[in-house]
Amino acid sequence: MRCAVYVRVSTDKEEQKDSLKYQQELFYNYIAEKGWDIYKFYIDVESGTTAKREELQKLIEDAQNKEFDIILAKELSRLARNGELSYKIKNLCENQGIHIITLDNAINTLTGNTHMFGLYAWMYEQESQNTSNRVKETLKTRAKNGLFKGSNPPYGYEVRDGKLYIRNDETPKIVKRIFKEYLEGNGRQSIARRLYNEGIPTPAQIAGKANAGDKWHDSTIRCILTNPHYVGDLVQGRTTTVSVTSKRRKNVPKEKQFIIKNAHEPIISRETFDAVQNQLEQRRKYITAPKLHLFTNVLFCADCGTGMWFRSNRDGYICGAYARHGKKACTAHTIKEDFLKETILNDIKSLIHQIDKEQYIKKMERKSKSTKSDSQKKINKINKQMDVLKNRKRKFINLLADGIITNEEYQESIEATNKDLTELMEQKNELLSLMESEDVIETIEKLKKELLQFLHFDELTEDILHRLINRIEVKEDGTPIIHYRFTTPKIE
């Protein structure tokens, strides 16, 4: 465990310097006792009422980059004295996978002791919620005055002085094309596929978002087709956040939305928009839920990683990215369902035939007996070597605490020691795995018994499939790579 230690004193007075030294000694002893490593000490000489503490902000930044595993503090008040900081710590604990431990035992996320942290988080959440409500009221006022308050304008529009204006580029034509093609009977997915293959920039790309993708999706087309801004109406407050701590949004009832008719120039006529809404509703009534086939959620494209889609006209599966976006995204990777079933059943029969060989079983049994004693001797030797290295790590901490070595020298020594410990642990785990598989006969018979029951089935069922197979990947030429849930013996 790499530990980030946060130490804070309020002033630089002489008595506070003694407190600073005392806190550091506490952490040296605590970390040495646990056998953990020191990543860095973050020390602030400042009041805890402000979150703008240089070292604390550096600690948060390093935590977001996963530079360490644990934050150590003497007590919670050294870290959390305002709402913003409380939420940053909460996010580190719950979302970033960084543990928090205070030496007064009020918080220890390693053991699940977080009740005091929850109390602080609750208090600061109320304060943040009140602030959020005030901001929402301000936005409501802007909406009532006919000003666009969204972070990004609808595709095809731009914002000038709080008002929506039609962009002077190709995007308004794309909006009209989407509405026209949908009314002509094209599906949302087919429209999205054509736009992608033609290289038309997506709404996210036009908005300049950092994570913008180049693929158009069914959901993107639906958002455009259902957006009332395109008829010239300013409709705001359609969704809102669930809470101040969540980015998830929920729909707002129409009667609570802010709607101003003819607030800006339309791209789509009301007649066209209403016709599209009617088509959306009609098509929704007749869309059946997609049928799950035998290899759904098991079969994946080996090149792009997308799940394979079943196509009845091919009697098999094709790459989902190819099916959704066309050949620009990937190739078909076609594979027949019957071929997959036959391949799996043949694998099972072949494996049972091979593990039934008496010569193979005797050979494995002899090998198992000859390695048991050697493995245990090696493990004992490794344990002694690991104890020496752990003691060496404690000495490094003492040398650092006494100022005999610098932090850079400590980090170099710890890195080399941890590397040796990791190598020894890997060797030990390999030996333990060998010893756990000592009873070769029992292991093979168990595998054989498990496989034999499947030979009585003429058809590969979903239950059998998921018990046998973890994942199947299909190469471009249609060759399957089957990842079974059991380890197949290697047979000469």
Q: Which of 38-52, 277-291, 370-384 has the highest mean pLDDT?
A: 370-384
Sign of torsion, CA 342 348 351 356? negative
Across 105-110, average pLDDT:
80
Say how many C-beta atoms besides its own lie within 10 A of residue 20's C-beta.
16
Helix (H) or strand (E) holding 163: strand 163-166
Q: How far are the Cα atoms of 276, 281, 282, 284, 325 from residue 287, in angstroms, in the given order?
A: 16, 10, 9, 5, 21
Tell me the per-residue pLDDT of 373-428, one tens digit each, with 9 for 90 and over: 788 888 999 999 999 998 888 888 888 888 888 888 888 888 888 888 989 998 88
Nearest to 296 by CA among 281, 307, 287: 307
Within 13 Å of residue 21, how many CA atoms lie on the same side as its CB?
A: 9
- Please tell me the predicted confidence (pLDDT) of residue 216: 93
What's the N-to-C CA distance of the chain in angstroms? 44
Instruction: Return the pLDDT at 123.
Output: 47
pLDDT, residue 441, reads 56
pLDDT band for position 103 (50/70/90)?
confident
Greater pLDDT, 435 or 415: 415
Q: Does residue 90 carry a pLDDT above 80? A: no
How sure is the predictor about 449, in pLDDT bands with cuts at 50, 70 and 90?
A: low
pLDDT at residue 492 in the model: 35
**Tokens 């869309």, residue located:** 287
The pTM score is: 0.48
User: Would you state the pLDDT for residue 402?
Assistant: 84
pLDDT at 126: 57
Cα distance between residue 397 and residue 403, in whole Å:
10
- Residue 240 scores a pLDDT above 50: yes
Q: How many Cα atoms sit within 13 Å of 193 on the Cβ side?
A: 16
Q: Is pLDDT larger for residue 150 or for residue 370?
A: 150
Q: How far is CA 109 from the centre of its chain?
A: 20
* Angstrom distance (rounded) from CA 353 to CA 347: 10
Task: With a cut of 70, say whether residue 202 has pLDDT above it.
Answer: yes
Greater confidence (30 vs 439) lies with: 30
Residue 372 has pLDDT above 70, yes or no: yes
Mean pLDDT, residues 95-118 taken together: 77
Least confident of 106-115, 262-271, 467-476: 106-115
pLDDT digits (tens, 9 = 90+) for 141-183: 666 666 787 778 999 999 998 889 999 999 999 999 999 999 8
Helices (H), 146-258: 171-183, 188-197, 203-207, 218-225
How many Å apart are CA 107 and CA 79, to the nearest integer?
Answer: 12
User: Distance (Å, rounded) from C-alpha 229 to C-alpha 224?
Assistant: 9
| Predicted local distance difference test score (pLDDT) of residue 195 | 94
Q: How crowded is residue 316: how many other Cβ atoms within 10 Å of its Cβ?
A: 21
Q: Which residue has the tokens 């391949």?
A: 343
Pair 437, 443: CB distance under 8 Å = yes
Residue range 239-258: mean pLDDT, rounded: 64
Does 309 have pLDDT greater than 70? yes
Q: What is the pLDDT of residue 279?
A: 87
- pLDDT attached to residue 161: 86
Closest CA to 1 of 74, 110, 96: 110
Q: Which of 275-279, 473-477, 483-487 has the lowest mean pLDDT?
A: 483-487
Query: Residue 196, Cβ neighbours under 10 Å: how many?
Result: 20
CA 365 to CA 452: how far, in whole Å?
22
pLDDT of 344 above 80: yes
* Confidence check: pLDDT of 49 > 60: no
Long-range contacts of 407-416 (CB under 8 A, 24+ apart): 407/40, 407/41, 410/38, 414/37, 414/38
